[in-house]
Amino acid sequence: MEKIIIIDFGGQYTHLIARRIRDLGVYSEIINPENFGKDNDVVGIIFSGGPQSVNADDAYRIKFDIATNEIPILGICYGHQLLAKMVGGKIESGENKEYGFTSITCDNKNSVLFRKLNTEQKVWMSHGDHVCSLPQSFRITASTNSVKIVAYESDKYFGFQFHPEVTHTENGMKMLDNFVELCTQERNWKVKNFKQQLTDEIRNEVKGRKLVLLLSGGVDSLVALELCIQAVGNENVYSIHIDTGFMRKDESKEIMEHFRELNFKNIKIIEAEDLYLKELEGIVEPEEKRKIIGKLFVDIANEELEKLSKEEEFILVQGTIYPDTIESGSTDKAALIKTHHNRVDEIEKLISEGKIIEPIKELYKDEVRKLGEELGLPHKLVHRHPFPGPGLAIRVICSDKTKSQIDYTKEEKFMNKILSEFKMEGKILPIKSVGVQGDFRTYHHPAIIWFKKDIEADWKVINECSSKVINKLKTVNRLIFSLNPVDDLHLEKLFLEKHNLDELRNVDAVLRKRTDDIKEIWQMPVVQLPLRNTDNKLCYVMRPVCSFDAMSASVYEMDFTEFLRLSNLIRNIDDAGNLLYDITTKPPGTIEWE
């Protein structure tokens, strides 16, 4: 069978490229560069993105005779730079960093991959290095204001500095389709029936054992549960829902109501709030929080498993999906973005011992939803907002300090110079959040920005400003917007304590009630900050994002009048103060703050 192979250099979107090629009707496979060899069925090659600099001494390479190659090759991001270097081009590391939405100007008349597209295109960038020169036989086919070579072509070689595979590159699929057309005229790959394929795989793995599913109540674990039930029968599946105390308001109660409606059996809720709060007392560092939560999850599950296994042999089931594994750095070369609770060491050990199965681990969120509908689950459940396994624990930004240890006066001055171009002002906050820039994990400062007095808020200006600030400042990976000046915030100690979590639950419930019917909002995390205003009230951030598969996200542009209404509603909650608006795309900011 003809196929296009993707060489995996550790990019966060490598599997997404493979999916897009299959969506275009051609079989695709991902291989590591060291495993690359001659294969007569290969009709095209794609070099993926990756977290390294091509100029680094230990940069990922591939043994490949570029001089005798006759197969079309497309390089994306790191792959774009590596391919350019392999043919004699030069790569520069400098200040021209770009993350998120970027406008490019393309040569659609002389380009194969941009043909039939408009000259101006919106694409999704995530890079630090860039190609600065190419051999004479190559032609530059796209540029931005800050980078001359954003795309290039020759007879066989093509490069994109941006990511055509993410949905936020508006015509990315057309660009990839043009590449596929160069490779083959056959489009005979059809995605197998997920339901039949996965139920068969579960039966083969289980081999007569009973299943115990760790049920969070989210879409992923719900679909995994229904898949298991249809594979081996309701009577052979046990579900454990551990109420960690980090659920949203009335969430555990709602979960049980949903499951009663679906006639699910053998479901047990374990109240573990006190245990989790005790184990997490005084813990501030995000990765440590995630790992403690994951370990406790396994310990409690093992305890229940021991009780059950006195009578039967069991195997654990997790509703892990592909973004959970890729962000945890699980591919051979991918960088760690954050450790997901179902990817802690204890879970990895159980997987290696064959004690856990993850039936939907190769799927993305949109595919999970499609599978859920194919399984016959109600639309309202399948299309619920995603909710992270660690729950609200990672939406409380903890701090054990009351004063910043770093002086960022210089960076703040530089930031305000940029902001002045947009008639805005801002302040770098004395806290940190996780991000992903150029396929690397970043842990940098958010900055808060606002318009100067009498200047009307404008989303176009906000988006342009956000992109420029993050691309120019190394210390900032996330921007939040305020309707009013907020240069009076002060840092305060904040831990995972019940009263803080209860207030976050209340704030989250109010905001969800007002926004749940907005179809464009794919997810809306609400974050509690260790910052208080002059009224000594805690600040909150809402993050409404638009996404398709969680691998990239844009910001939902809410009407400013509605944002003001929500801000006023939040101020009526006991200890709640300012409501702020996260305006960061992914990349450079992950959807969750931790």
Catalytic residue IDs:
77, 163, 165
- Long-range pairs of 64-70 with CB within 8 A, sequence gap ≥ 24: 64/36, 69/156, 70/156
Query: Which residue bears the tokens 């856990």?
Result: 356
Strand order in the sheet with 157-160: 27-31, 3-7, 42-47, 73-76, 157-160, 151-153, 139-143, 90-106, 120-133
CA 190/CA 196 separation, integer angstroms: 14
**Which residues sit opposite 267 in a β-bridge?**
239
Asked if 580 and 482 touch (Cβ cutoff 8 Å), the reply is yes
Write the burial class of residue 457 (CB in 10 Å: 0-12 exposed, 13-18 middle, 19+ buried): middle
Helix (H) or strand (E) holding 6, with range, is: strand 3-7
313 backbone φψ class: left, alpha, beta (φ>0; ψ -120 to 50): beta
CA-nearest of 193, 201, 252 to 231 is 201
CA 495/CA 497 separation, integer angstroms: 6
User: Helices H, strands E: what count in the chain?
Assistant: 16, 24
Q: Identify the DSSP state of 115.
A: T
CA 426/CA 484 separation, integer angstroms: 11
Q: If DSSP codes are grouped into helix, strand and coil, which group holds residue 203?
A: helix
CA 393/CA 527 separation, integer angstroms: 10
